[in-house]
Amino acid sequence: MNNFGHVIKLERIRRNMKQITLAQGICTPSYLSKIENNSIVPSQEVVNLLLNRLELAINQNKSLDDESYLKHIREIYFNAVMNKDREHTAKALKEINNERYLFKDSSNFYTYQLMVLRLTLIVPEVRNDTSDLIIALSELSSNFDEYQTFLFNSCLGSYYYFKHDFTFSLSAFEKAYKGHQQLSIEEWETADFYYMLSIIYIQHQRVVTCTEFIQKALTYFKDNFFYIRAIECYLVLSVAQKTSYKLDEALETLQLAKRIAIQLNLEDHFSVIYHNLGAIMSWQGKSEEAIEHYIESMTLSDRTETKLISVLSIAQEYSKQSNSVKVIEWSKKGLELLNEQHENGLIRFQHHFNIYLSKYTNYLNFEKVVLNAIQYFKDAKDYLYTYKYYIFLAEYFNEINKYKNAAKYYAASNEYLFLKNNYTSWEDL
């Protein structure tokens, strides 16, 4: 076994281990540094000791070379990205991690790790466990070529998007886009990247830019019969149309997505389609129809997060009607659902439901509950909800004639309105 220093280095960084710690009792830190840089060939004994300390087992498949194995991984990567089959991707990812193929070439190893990172981000169950790999790859990123840098920034953008840190997500995706313009990348990968760009642009309400990219992605997916991805594009396009107050166009787009899903029996997509139809109904002022669609969405989904999004939307819809009984009922349902799952990535919903409960039960610590939520969304750099709940507090105090408090929270909301929209001064408004 030789030329494996890149594997040792990545795993050491992933474990937040210093060279002196890994080397202790095995070799000198300077010798380990040479191993990690592949500038020497250590003995098998030293190799085994280092691998044992890292709890790293590597099974070298001598029937494959680097290029063949990387081609195999890229096929898995292509199928995962284009078909969005989370269950199949999770199975493939498990097999890849069990194989622990040893790349002789460090550049191939980096490309492999970046594709594995993207696979991990597709699977919700393991998505939150990617931070250590991202940190490690970040430290090694100075060694990346242009394509690897593009892949890394794309993955970083997706990671922060799933973390609801939309500011960092946009920054990473725009770095990726700058690199993408200098590269010759396959059409399918470009279409997928344009889709990812569109979802972060719509999050920042940059509707024109979002529409430009989602139309390009949609054209490729439709022309090449990737209907699952086409449905995803229709969903994003409908949000862009809704944000532009083109509600009839948004409704037509969603109905088209629904027809495709029904024709191909793509049951996994029904829930999201019904939820988005509910959002259109809500904007049209058809509250009862919106609630019916949200309930249908919740019923059809087998994912906790999707269910919680629908439950929250129902509570919000009843809040618009000032129907305190129903707001309390659905907020409690949301909290019950959360208690059944115990997923850390869903804690934001606890803050949402607590706010609605505290408002409609005349809870004495209402202000504290909302401020705790605001602090959570500040820390998560989710400026939309930070802004929203500051407005919520300001209007609450304005209604009860506590104008000093109202003014304080209106001022705070303005600060986060600027951050949400990337404004730097009032002239940008």
- pLDDT at residue 262, rounded to an integer: 94
pLDDT band at 209 (very low <50, low <70, confident <90, very high): very high
Whether 129 has a pLDDT exceeding 80, the answer reads: no
Q: Is the pLDDT of residue 426 over 70?
A: no
Q: What pLDDT sits at residue 5? A: 83
Amino acid at 256: L
Q: What is the pLDDT of residue 63?
A: 64
Count Cβ neighbours within 10 Å for each residue of 189-228 and write b for 16 or more, e otherwise.
bbbbbbbbbbbbbbbbebbeebbebbebbbebbeeeebbb
How confident is the model over 283-301, as a mean pLDDT? 94
pLDDT of residue 73: 93
Over 60: is that where the pLDDT of 428 sits?
no
pLDDT above 90 coverage of the chain, percent? 62
What's the rounded mean pLDDT across residues 131-152?
Answer: 92
pLDDT tier at 4 (50, 70, 90 boundaries)?
confident
* Per-residue pLDDT band at 250 (split at 50, 70, 90): very high
pLDDT of res. 280: 94
The answer, yes or no, to whether residue 422 has pLDDT greater than 70, is: no
- What pLDDT was estimated at residue 38? 80
The four Cα atoms 267, 271, 276, 281 give a dihedral, to 10 degrees, of: 110
Contacts of 83 (CB under 8 A, 6+ apart): 226, 228
The confidence score (pLDDT) of residue 263 equals: 92
Average pLDDT on 249-254 reads: 96
Higher pLDDT, residue 396 or 154: 154
Which tops the pLDDT comparison, 159 or 63?
A: 159
Question: Does the pLDDT of residue 59 top 70, yes or no?
Answer: no
In this predicted model, what pLDDT tens digit does every residue of 330-369 receive, in sequence order?
999 999 999 887 666 788 999 999 999 998 987 778 899 9
Report pLDDT for 211.
97
Packed helices 227-243 and 207-223: angle between N→C axes, nearest 10 degrees = 160
Q: How much is the pLDDT for 21? A: 93
Instruction: Check residue 3 and give its pLDDT.
Output: 62
Say what the pLDDT of residue 289 is: 95
Average pLDDT, integer, range 144-156: 96
Is the CB of residue 45 less than 8 Å from the CB of residue 61?
no
Segment 324-333 shows an average pLDDT of: 96
Residue 418 banded pLDDT, cuts 50, 70, 90 = confident
Cα gap 290→292, rounded to integer Å? 5
pLDDT band at 423 (very low <50, low <70, confident <90, very high): low
User: What was the pLDDT predicted at 102?
Assistant: 77
- Residue 254 sits at φ, ψ, to 5 deg, of -70, -35
pLDDT at residue number 425: 58
H or E element in which residue 303 lies: none
Closest CA to 247 of 217, 219, 218, 277: 277
Q: Residues near 88 by Cβ (< 8 Å), separated by ≥ 6?
A: 79, 80
Query: Which residues have C-beta within 8 Å of that of residue 395, sequence separation ≥ 6?
Result: 406
Question: What integer pLDDT is reported at residue 1 of this predicted model?
Answer: 46
pLDDT at position 258, please? 94
Tens-digit pLDDT profile for residues 63-100: 678 888 999 999 999 999 999 888 899 999 888 887 77
Task: With cut-offs at 50, 70 and 90, classify the pLDDT of residue 323.
Answer: very high
- The C-alpha atoms of residue 295 and residue 306 are separated, in whole angstroms, by 11
Chain segment 373-395, per-residue pLDDT in tens: 999 999 888 888 999 999 999 99
The mean predicted confidence, pLDDT, of the chain is: 89
Structure confidence at residue 427 (pLDDT): 54
Query: What confidence tier does 61 reach under pLDDT thresholds 50, 70, 90?
Result: low
